[in-house]
Structures are given as structure tokens and as C-alpha cells.
Structure 1
């Protein structure tokens, strides 16, 4: 029961997030679910109850060491407050966002590899494809050669991958500090009434729409893709490059967006 509107979908039958490897629903998945069901919270509990029953059935033969009560808390309990009310992110209009993550995995339980990955600052990019479809990606690498290549790790169940697979091409645009909200929207962490491309200014290209205020973009032809860890490793040939102007990058470091300043990242 993969939900196309929610990133970080579970990898069955282990029920771990395909994107981050944490037990599903992980922190990004919970935030995305709360955003998707913000107008219909009872439907959220129905959906969570359905996947709980499916997960319990699939995990039982694996002798999973999680109790039924633990599974219930993991899949459903987080969506309710301690007194039985449904949990809301920032339920008071105008209230401040919490400085701590209510869904964060305790430090002692985090994967060492995931902690290492978090300490590697990476550029935030937007991948788009004809359709249109798009996804925020922070695992993008350019390899110079003849021809020049581009590689990236993306969610294999994302709408972006379906569009890339169908068209055989996609565009990649590096994002800047002004694109924080856009990055969250295409990561599924911020509401997008009217669709992902309903706001902001876009420039249409044959590879996919790109933000008009981006410092540049590249058009890529899909060469191959294969499962790599819990993600999909996409390999492509760079066909076109448009660089508008020198611009500061938006970075992702230890779960947060950072910017480069005169004294370093902030």
C-alpha cells in the first residue's frame, strides 16, 4: 500500500524507510502524513491502523522483537497526544515551531552510517521531469568525462522516478538559500495546495520545469538505474547545461538546511 503523496515509503517486509533506513513511519514520513491528512485526521488513523495490521502480519514470520503494543505505538500512537487527542503540529495559529523534533530517534538508537551521512554537507538540488514531477534530492554528484555524467540517489517509489522512467530524461537545478520552502515542498514536508508547481516561477525545458530564479540547471538523459542501499542509484548523461549567474548553494547538514557565509555554513 505505497502512498505516492508521501515520501519515505516503507520497504516491506522489514518495514524500514526506503529513503533513510529508519523504522517506518520515520520522522519525515510522520511529518508528511500529518501534512497530507491535515484536513482529515480520522482518515489518517484509519490508514495507520490498516498498515499496522499489514506490518504485524509481515513482521511476525521474521521473529521481529517488537511487541504488539510497541508496534501499535510506533504506527498509531504517535498520531495521538497523551490524553487520546490527535497530535497536531503547531495547532495554534501563529505559534512558534518547536526547536526540538518530537519524532526524533534517540541518539543512541541512530544508525552509525546515517549519523556519518548527516555529517557530510551536501548540496540541495531539485530534480524534475516531464509530467511534470519533481523531488528534492541531496545526493547528487557530477562526474566530468567524455561524456559528462550525473549520478544521484532518489526514492524508487516517487512520482519523479515514474516520470523519469517514462520520459528517459530529467532536469537538475541547484537550489539556493531562497529556496528553503520550495525544497521542503518537493520533499513532501510542506503543504502544496494546487500541486507542487502551482506557485513560484518556472522555466519550461524539454527535460522538465526548472525554477526561474535558480542559478542554473542541467538537462540529463537517463542511462541506467539500480537499487543501491535503500535508494535507487540513477546514472545519466549530461546533455545540456545552462548557468545563469554565480549563486550561493543551499546545503543539507545534520538534518538541517545551511548556508555558506563569510565565516562558513550557518
Structure 2
């Protein structure tokens, strides 16, 4: 039971940054990008993702430069981007640092090691190497070459206006 009709700590729309409100109206894919192996694994929920087809295929990400993932991605690094599916909301929140994960982030979900880093089982994914990193705004733009792709039958998930949406 609550005495509030809305969340008591969320500012009213009129008090929010206009650019962030605009960005929140654009649906964004929800992925987890992970790198490393064993105890050195790092991961982050990433929704600023662009895939460019070509020879070779490319991936562009915007990540938090202060995140463990952002600090670990250097030119030549390998990483895997797993596409989240409906029902993965909690997993997305864990890797965004918004929900607890006793035992560590990688205890949530079923993970398998790949040549590119940890990836979620039964999810569409791609493995890539980092070609370039540059700061853009408050983000780190990571540009990579995609070397391996796996596509599953499940649909993806998008995030818009603070909610997850089934793309199926």
C-alpha cells in the first residue's frame, strides 16, 4: 500500500531534461554486451546499438566510459552482444546496475563462453573485435567489426519511456 499516486522520487516531466525526454520516446534495442573470461568478465546493458551491414559487418555502441565494460574495451578487444528477449527485464536491470545480483551479475541468466566473450544462451548475438573508441557526449563510442553472428527464433526487446516492449 502506498500514499503516493506516482513514484515519490521521480521528477515530474516538466522538471526533466528535454533531450532525455526526447531520447526516451525513441524505442531502443536492449542488449547485454560482455567481455572477458572467468573472474575477469564484465558486462553492461546497452541500448545505444547500431548494426551496419557490409563487408565486413560493423557494430557501433554507446557505453558508459566509467563502467567496467567501458574501461575494458580497448582497440583489439573482443566482446559479444546478446539481444535480450521478452521476459529478460530483470536481467537488463541487473546489468544496468539497477537490480541486485547476489553472487555477481553473471549468476543471472544462462551464459556460455565464446571466442568473443560471454554470451547468453538461446539469444541472438554477435561477436566482434573493437576497432576504435572515441568519446562522444558523455558516452564512449565503440566501433567494432562483427566476426560471428547467431540468430535464434525468439524476438527481441525494446526500451521506450521507461518500459520494456516485446518486438514480436
- Give me the TM-score of the superposition, normalised by structure 1: 0.58
Structure 1's 137 and 246: CA in aligned 2 closer, same or farther, altered over 3 A?
A: same
1:201 is matched with 110
1:149 equivalent among 38, 53, 58: 58
- Match of 2:68? 159
Q: Where does the alignment leave 5 or more consecutive residues of structure 1 unmatched?
A: 1-94, 262-266
Hey, which bits of structure 1, 4+ residues long, moved more than 4 A? none
**Aligned counterparts of 1:246 and 1:123: Cα–Cα separation in 2:** 16
Alpha-carbon distance in structure 2 between the residues aligned to 1:233 and 1:162? 12
Is the counterpart of residue 179 in structure 1 residue 85 in structure 2?
A: no
Name the larger-Rg structure: 1
Structure 2: gaps of 5 or more residues: none
Name the structure 2 match of 1:111: 17
- CA 1:148–1:221 in 2, change beyond 3 Å: closer, same or farther? same
Deviation at 1:260, TM superposition (A): 3.3
Give the equivalent residue in structure 2 for 1:253: 160
C-alpha displacement of 1:103: 2.4
Is contact 2:75–2:133 with CA below 8 Å preserved after alignment? no
Instruction: Pick one of 8, 11, 34 that aligns with 1:102.
Output: 8
Q: Which is helix-richer, 1 or 2?
A: 1
Task: Choose which of 133, 144, 163 in structure 1 pairs with 2:42.
Answer: 133
Superposed displacement of residue 164, structure 1 = 2.3
**Higher strand proportion, which one?**
2
Contact 2:43–2:68, Cα closer than 8 Å, also in 1? yes
Aligned partner of residue 66 in structure 2, secondary structure: coil
CA–CA distance in structure 2, aligned partners of residues 182 and 191 of structure 1: 10
Q: CA deviation at 1:166?
A: 8.1
User: What does residue range 52-91 of structure 1 map to in structure 2 within 5 Å?
Assistant: none
Count of equivalent residues: 164
What is the TM-score with the length of structure 2 in the denominator?
0.89
**Which residue does 1:224 correspond to in 2?**
132
Structure 2 partner of 1:75: none
| 1:115 CA drift (Å) | 1.2
Per the alignment, do residues 99 and 250 of structure 1 end up closer, same or farther by CA in structure 2, a change over 3 Å counting? farther
- CA apart distance, 1:99: 7.1
Q: CA RMSD for the aligned pairs?
A: 1.9
Q: Counterparts in 2 of 1:33-44, with a 5 A limit?
A: none
Question: Whole-Å Cα distance in 1 between the matches of residues 120 and 136 of structure 2?
Answer: 29
Q: Residues 167 and 186 (structure 1 numbering): CA distance in 2 closer, same or farther, change over 3 Å?
A: farther
Question: For residue 236 of structure 1, what is the aligned residue in structure 2?
Answer: 144
Secondary structure in 1 matching 2:23:
helix
Q: CA deviation at 1:101?
A: 3.0
